[in-house]
Structure 1
Amino acid sequence: MEHHSGDEGHTASAGALDQPDYGSAHLHRSRGRSRRKRLRVIACAALGAVLVGGGGLAYAWSHLNGNLKGTDIDAALGRNRPRAGHDGAMNILLLGSDSRAGTHGRYGRGVTGARSDTAMVLHIDKSHRTASVVSIPRDTMVDRPPCAKPSGGTAPGERQSMFNAAYQAGGPACTVKTVEKMSGVRMDHYLEVDFQGFEKFVDELGGVDITTHRAIKDTSSHLSLSAGRHTLKGEQALALVRTRHGVGDGSDLGRIQLQQTFIKALIHRCESIGVVTNPARAYELADTATRTVSADTGLASADKLLGLAKDLKGISPDHMNMITLPVRYDTQDPGRVLPLTQASHQVWQALHDDRPIPKTATDNSVAARTDSPVSADT
């Protein structure tokens, strides 16, 4: 199978493991339940540390902690934020940044800085049995609030700015602030992965299985897939989730459908690799994951990710509702989209109230007219 790189955007790809108990006796019992153990979308960074066991656990834990990079978004955002919930529900902003730093032009030249080419709000309900995922198109026009710059000073707010420019203006904290302003929902955490991190993680998994219902060819992302079943390694998987000209109407909306489908395939791949009976393999995955993700300081430690993994253990892909924020094309620029005011309010209010997103919320969205040409192999 040929591997190709692309140049158009990507998705975040973090996963999470249901935590087995510590110690050999507990590990023995967990093997009897291994088929029920599931890798989840968020905390795959905790994979190996909890499986190594014995005297190596402390070293492994310390090493994984050292891999993680944290940003104090609470300090950057201050107190003028939506109120935090206290009922056990949780909102996590998943970011895929298009940073090309250190890639020597592998993902396209002439692009400086970084933007959030992929943004998904993951809402975990208070029972921790179901989840909703809301993808925000990068081309959405929003009113961006003033943001503190990581290097100092303040980036002024801007009306009708492209959503993904918030990251460039003020880093992940500015993207969090922009999402909170447009949604009225507090983001409890964020997780981020860049191009290189995505590739490395998929390669460490041994590839991800997908089925294409028709051929996909995109000269911009250099993706060429025939109809049928494929095992995509990192470079080709990145091309898939970055492609846009080979699917749908060529906009970001078709790419989002690919990204959501790929996440489901990624979860299934994680579930099938048998980490419970292979601690060394699990640790390799954990080491790769923790070296390739960034998080807020509230999540940037192995024990915090482990706790999140425990929280997510009751959620299966069948109980994860994935939608795209309801939008319409901008009449001033067909390459941009605008949120549908009433429908978007329904979506955000459902997350705020910890309720399922109404199915009717996306009825009039142009995003709902785009079908994915790819399905996840399960």
Structure 2
Amino acid sequence: MSADSTLEPGTTGPRHRAAKGRRRKTRGKHDKAVLVTAWTAAGVLVLGGTGAGYLYFHLNGNIKSVDINQALGTDRPVDVDNGSQDILVLGSDTRSGSNKKLGGGVDDGSARSDTAMIVHVYEGHKRASVVSIPRDTLVERPECTDANGKTHPAASYAMFNSAYSTGGAACAVKTVESMSGIRMDHYVEVDFAGFEKLIDVLGGVDITTTKDIKDPDSHLDLKAGEHTLTGKQALGLVRTRHGVGDGSDLGRIQLQQAFIKALIEQVKDVGIFSSPRKLYDLADTATDAVTTDSDLDSVKDLASFASGLKGISSKNMTMVTMPVQYDPDDPNRVLVDKTKSQQVWAALKADRTIPKSATKGTATGAADGVVASS
């Protein structure tokens, strides 16, 4: 899949069949992804509200927010109050500031979403399901209005990640809600620089690779075995696509999901209580890296939200990729498997476990077993 495809808008024009042959493994300096989870951004803030005076207001001032409710109005799925929560988690590769050297390209101030996950927290907040959405999925993007009030028309066969680059967070949320029929209760976004710094402040993340991973594009060279990844290495791992599987975004998603589980356990085990300085560094880094919906735009609200997630361990988390199939007209794109994806959405709406049949026989990216959490 072409990395430069992150810039392609949706189109209503005719589609052309690609030449037959092996799936292409394109390379490019703009091919990036960043892993983000609600636990990473918010979980370290459970004690954030204990800071007094300047420190508390400094952390509050770090947090950036988007008023999703105001932007989308009433044209949204019904808000089902059954004790569960649904959170859209995005990773962005803004091309401005400290992200320029990580994201590549020119400092044009633009931003693109490379990683998207729907996190469904079940009633009782003891377990969760995570559904990764491949960025190269062709979808029906609804009409949406950006933060500047400009309305963008709907588009057919639009790449999923074009929603964010077209209309920002609100458009991404509206696209997800249109696809799934599920109202998102919250929105969490983390950028490249914040992700890398957060991993370093945590002291790295322990993972085990079951195969060698080498990708010059993401500056990653790992032999099979145990590793404690630095922030730079972790970012390389969740960005790589050429070093694993068939070179598709689907293979990279499998790496990201394995890394999430390792990261969650790392956050739960890190000794932040014994070091006030480390606690503050984590809170400062996380609040500076994160953009949330307006209901989570204070340390108090974010800490309360995180407290509701801290009881979920990696063992009580199901992670799947939204059911898709390779596009026969373009080997660098995937199409939603509508029948199977509806099984996923129906299960989440009913607060039930996603059935295994929902992902059986779908495209996977052929990267099974590359990384296991330590």
Q: TM-score, normalised by structure 1?
A: 0.87
Residue aligned with 2:295, SS: coil
Residue 43 of structure 2 aligns with which residue?
44
Distance in 1, matches of 2:357 and 2:287, equals 38
Shift of 1:49: 2.0
Letter in 1 for 2:304: G
Indicate yes or no: 2:128 matched with 1:131.
yes
Distance in 2, matches of 1:154 and 1:190, equals 21
Structure 1 unaligned regions, length at least 5: 1-5, 17-40
Residue aligned with 1:118, SS: strand
Indicate yes or no: 2:76 matched with 1:84.
no
Distance in 1, matches of 2:112 and 2:68, equals 17
Distance in 2, matches of 1:7 and 1:199, equals 17
Residue aligned with 1:92, SS: strand
Residue 121 of structure 1 aligns with which residue?
118
After superposition, where does 1:44-63 map in structure 2 within 5 Å? 44=43, 46-50=45-49, 52=50, 56-63=51-58
Residue 238 of structure 2 aligns with which residue?
241
Letter in 2 for 1:65: N
Residue aligned with 1:13, SS: coil
Distance in 1, matches of 2:134 and 2:73, equals 26
Indicate yes or no: 2:32 matched with 1:9.
yes
Shift of 1:101: 1.1
Residue aligned with 1:366, SS: coil
Letter in 2 for 1:108: G
Residue aligned with 2:218, SS: coil
Shift of 1:369: 4.9
Provide the identity percentage. Answer: 53
Letter in 1 for 2:253: I
Residue 70 of structure 2 aligns with which residue?
75
Residue aligned with 1:43, SS: helix
Residue aligned with 1:109, SS: coil
Counterpart contact for 1:47–1:285, Cα < 8 Å: no
Letter in 2 for 1:46: L
Distance in 1, matches of 2:73 and 2:354, equals 29
Residue 23 of structure 1 aligns with which residue?
none
Counterpart contact for 1:88–1:127, Cα < 8 Å: yes
Shift of 1:211: 1.1
Distance in 1, matches of 2:106 and 2:55, equals 40
After superposition, where does 1:1-378 map in structure 2 within 5 Å? 7-14=30-37, 16=39, 41=40, 43-44=42-43, 46-50=45-49, 52=50, 56-102=51-97, 103-109=99-105, 113-367=110-364, 369-377=366-374
Counterpart contact for 1:254–1:370, Cα < 8 Å: yes
Letter in 2 for 1:373: V
Counterpart contact for 1:260–1:322, Cα < 8 Å: yes
Counterpart contact for 2:208–2:227, Cα < 8 Å: yes
Counterpart contact for 2:251–2:365, Cα < 8 Å: no
Shift of 1:259: 0.7
Shift of 1:107: 2.9
RMSD, matched Cα: 1.7
Counterpart contact for 2:35–2:238, Cα < 8 Å: no
Distance in 1, matches of 2:37 and 2:352, equals 25
Structure 2 unaligned regions, length at least 5: 1-28
